[in-house]
A and B are shown apart, each in its own frame.
Chain A
Amino acid sequence: MVDVLIPPDVTFVVLTTITLLAAIMALQAKELIYGAISLAISFIGIAGFFVSLDAPYLAMLQIAVYVGAVVVLILFTIMLVRREEADKTEKPEGGEGAAGLWIAGLLAVSIAGVAALAGPNLPTTPPPANLPISQLGPVLAGTYPVPLIILALLLSAALLGALVLAKVDR
C-alpha cells in the first residue's frame, strides 16, 4: 500500500536513516530526556519497517506499547530520579569508549558479513501474497496457546514484582 505512493527503495533508505540516527542520538544525547525522545523516534522508524514488511498490526502494537508505554515509563522514571543525577553525562574512562566501539563494530560487521555472504541463498523478492490480520488470531491462540498462557502469567508476575519493588515502606 505504501509502495504505490512512494518507490519502496526510497522508503527503505529514509526509514533506515531515521531509525539508525535516532538510535545513535538516544545513546549519545547530552540530556536523558532528549535521549528518551530519540528512542521513541527510533521505535517509530521500526514501526515503519513493520508496515513496509506487511505487518501493520505489529506496527500498531509497536507504537502503542513501545512509544506509548515504555518510553512514557522511562520519562516518568527520569523525572523521579533526581534530575542532575539523571543528566550527568558519562564520559567513558580512558580507552573504554574505543573498546566498546571495536566490540560493537566487529559484532555488527561480522553479522552483516554473514548475511551478505548468505545473500545468494536468501530470497530476494518476497512472495506477493499479503497476510490478512485475521490470520494472526488463529495462529496466536490455536497454534501457540501455551506460550500465550505463560505470557499472561509472566505479565501479571512482572506487574506485581514492579509494584512490590517500587513500593515505599512507611
Chain B
Amino acid sequence: MPTLVSYLIVSAALLGIGVYGLTVKRNAIRILFAVELIVNAANLNFVAFTRYMNPPQVSGQVIVFYSIAAAAMEAAVGLALILVAFRLNSTIDVRKLNKLKG
C-alpha cells in the first residue's frame, strides 16, 4: 500500500490545479470547477489521514460525508447565481461582472 505522504502529495497537486483555475480562469462555470477540485483535494486528505490512524477511526469519513453534502449545496446555489448573473448581464465572464466597482 502507498504511504500516507504519497496521498498527501496527490492532494496537494489537485489543490494546486484548483488554485490555478481560481486565479486564471474568467468563465464563472470554470471557476466553479476549480472550487469543486479544491473541495475534493480536502476530502482526499481527510480520508487518507483517517485510514492511516491507529487504531482505525471513522470520524474522517463522517466529515467527508458532511463535506460532500455541503459541496452539493454550494454547486446548486452557485449555479443558480451564475444563471441570475447571466440573465442580468448576459455574460458570465467574471472580469466583466464589475458593476459594484467604484
Chain A positions near chain B (C-beta within 8 angstroms):
3, 8-9, 12, 16, 19-20, 23-24, 26-27, 32, 35-36, 39, 42-43, 46, 49-50, 53-55, 57-58, 61-62, 65-66, 69-70, 73-74, 77-78, 80-82, 85-86, 88, 90, 92, 96-97, 99-101, 103-105, 107-109, 111-112, 115-116, 118-119, 122-127, 129-131, 135-136, 139-140, 143-144, 147-148, 151, 154-155, 158-159, 161-163, 165-166
Q: Do most interface residues of chain A lie in helix, strand or loop, or is the interface mixed?
A: helix
Asked if residues B73 and A154 are in contact (CB atoms below 8 Å), the reply is yes
Q: Contacting B12 at CB < 8 Å: which of A66, A111, A127, A135? A: A111
Asked if residues B47 and A49 are in contact (CB atoms below 8 Å), the reply is yes
Chain B positions near chain A (C-beta within 8 angstroms):
1-10, 12-21, 23-27, 29-30, 32-34, 36-37, 40, 43-44, 47-48, 51-56, 58-59, 61-62, 64-66, 68-77, 79-84, 86, 90-93
Instruction: List 17 A-B residue pairs with CB atoms under 8 Å apart, sorted by A's residue number.
Output: A20-B13, A27-B17, A27-B20, A32-B29, A54-B51, A80-B86, A88-B93, A90-B25, A103-B19, A104-B17, A104-B18, A105-B20, A109-B16, A119-B5, A136-B61, A136-B62, A155-B73
